[in-house]
Amino acid sequence: MDFGAGTGPVITKLLSDKGYHLKLYDPYFWNYPDNLKEKYDFIVCCEVIEHFRNPAKWFKLLKSLLKPGGGLYCMTDLYSDTVNFRKWYYKDDPTHVFFYHQKTLAWIKLKIGFSSLKVDRRLIQFLL
């Protein structure tokens, strides 16, 4: 599933070209509530999680949509102690309401109940 696909679901196109079939969900552009009743092998959230006003709510939902052994793949810019927040371009987007740090991701893994977390720059992988 491409969760938060937006107006032009780029990741869906890229993965479809590689033979994957993705369902779409976005509360504004692909509002298909029936897609939130299924279970998925993987869910992608490309430039989405920074828009979550209530991250715990949404991460719980995303976890509940995964099949056993499934994976949640997110892409966002992470805040770190080396970032000058005042000059950080990512905070200037008014739709970005939540920012993530390595410690935040570790908390999400623990509290939401994912079995593992891997971070490779902007790519975040939570596994069941």
* Local confidence pLDDT in tens for the 128 residues of the chain: 999 999 989 999 999 999 999 999 999 999 999 999 999 999 999 999 999 999 999 999 999 999 999 999 999 999 999 999 999 999 999 999 999 999 999 999 999 999 999 999 999 999 99
For the chain, which residues make up each domain, given as ranges?
2-127
- Model confidence, pTM: 0.95
Provide the total of helices (H) and of strands (E) in the chain, helices listed first: 3, 6
Separation between Cα atoms, residue 42 and residue 38, nearest integer Å: 12
Which amino acid type is present at position 36? L
CATH topology of domain 2-127: Rossmann fold (3.40.50)
Task: Please choose, from the candidates 46, 26, 44, the residue with its C-alpha nearest in 3D space to the C-alpha of residue 35.
Answer: 26
